[in-house]
Structure 1
Amino acid sequence: MVLDEGVAEYRDEDFRDVDLRDRDLTDLRFVGCDFSDATLAGSRLRRVVFERCTFVGTEFYGSELRGCTLLSCRVDRSAWHGATITDSRLVGTAFTDCRLIPLTVRDTDLTLVSLGGARLAGTDLSGLRLREANLTGADLRGCDLAGADLTGARLAGTELAGADLRGARLDVDAWIGARLRGARIDVDQALRFAAAHGLVLTDGDDPEGAA
């Protein structure tokens, strides 16, 4: 299957092995299409929508996505290193065994995204919406998550050592299940951490503990 310049929407089409490297793709919509083993390396995508599409072994490295949507897509063993994603929505999309770093993500909605076991150490994820995301076992060491919304995110076994969590919104389970050694948090978060672990904070001598 090849792209037709006169067509703006494709449904249930087979784009396996298609070569779209270094292309400019604008205002297109793909629904239920298969891009397995295709290459979009170095491509510039503007306002492109992928809905329920499959990307297995797909190359996105060095690409630029601006104002794009990946809705409930399957992304397996795909290469995204060097890609830039801006003002986009990756809602409900599952990434499995992908090469993701270095990756630049700005002003993007990652609600319900699945990144279980993903390696994203050192990535700037500040201010991103990651509500109800699956980050179980992900490597987020040294990530900048300042101001990120992680409400409802699954963080069991997530590596957050050295991460900047100041201002991030986290549920109680995150303070218990994630690995947080060396993470930077603010005072309010420190209180939440203490409460989650059953600690009691006092401001001085504790009369109840006096002999």
Structure 2
Amino acid sequence: MVLHLTETQYADEDFTEVDLTGQELAGISFTNCDFSEATLVDARTHRVTFTQCRFRGTELYDSAHRSSAFVSCSFERAALHGASFDGCRLTGSTFTDCRTRPLTIRDCDLTLVSLAGANLTGVNLSGLRLREANLVRAIMSGCDLRDADLTGARAERLDLTGADLRGARIDAALWVGAVLTGARVAVDQAVLFAAAHGLAIGGDD
């Protein structure tokens, strides 16, 4: 069903299976709305706020989101390949079994986001805020994470093979829990890595 939105605020609405293909959405807020199985292919959002909304099986590929917010939303089996997020907040949202490659994400806040098990191989995540994010078993091999904030992130079995971590803010838990084969780090980070693994650096002979 093709839908043309006319209001600026929606709460507790059922948008299941609606078709918003190619539509331009601006200045709208959605609270506790269900977009399951909806189609937002090639949709454009600007300053749109989604709070506690559900995107189960939703088609969002090739969509573009600028200065929008997805706060505490759930994405399950959503198609996000080719989507772009620029200056967005995704705080507290969860992504489960979603298609996420390729994905463009710039200057975004992903604090408390759950990306457990997500495949983000090769995605540019530089400068992003990923504080306290759930990255358990995520695949971020080859990712650009320069200057990203990974403070407090859960990183058990996080795959960072070949990732660029220079300038990233990282806790000891990530240095210990993640797979870091071939990852690029700065000298000061290498010292922190060694200390997290119990090595004594320097000192008298």
Q: Identify whether the pair has TM-score above 0.5, normalized to the shorter chain.
A: yes
1:144 maps to: 144
Aligned pairs for 1:33-182 (under 5 A) are 33-182=33-182
Q: How is 1:15-26 mapped onto 2 (pairs within 5 angstroms)? A: 15-26=15-26
Q: State the 1:200 CA deviation.
A: 1.9
Identical positions, percent? 55
- Answer with 194-203 or 178-187: which moved more: 194-203
Note closer, same or farther for the CA distance 1:32–1:191 as it changes in structure 2 (3 Å cut): same
Q: Distance in 2 between matches of 1:161 and 1:168?
A: 15
Q: Give the TM-score taking structure 1 as reference length.
A: 0.94
**Deviation by residue 1:86-112 (Cα, 9 ceiling, x = unmatched):** 000000000000000000000000000
Kindly provide the CA deviation profile for residues 151-207 of structure 1, in whole angstroms up to 9, marking residues without a partner as x: 00001000000000000001110000000010000011001001011112238xx53
Q: Distance in 2 between matches of 1:54 and 1:87?
A: 21
Work out the CA distance in 1 between the residues paired with 2:23 and 2:194. Answer: 51
Deviations 1:118-169 (A, max 9, x none): 0000000000000000000000000000000000000100000000000000
5+ residue gaps, structure 1: none
Q: Which amino acid aligns with 1:157?
A: R
Code of the residue aligned with 1:85 in structure 2: it is F
Letter in 1 for 2:182: G
SS at match of 1:55: strand
Measure, in 1, the Cα distance between the counterparts of 2:143 and 2:137: 14
* 1:188 counterpart SS class: helix
User: What number of residue pairs does the alignment pair up?
Assistant: 204
Which blocks of at least 5 consecutive residues in structure 2 are unaligned?
A: none
Question: Secondary structure in 1 aligned to 2:176?
Answer: helix
The 1:42/1:4 distance shift into structure 2, 3 A limit, reads closer
Whether the 8 Å contact between 2:22 and 2:44 is mirrored in structure 1 is: yes
The Cα shift of 1:3 comes to 4.1
Structure 1, residues 61-90: CA drift from partner, whole Å, max 9, x if none?
000000000000111000000011000000
**1:31 pairs with 2:38:** no
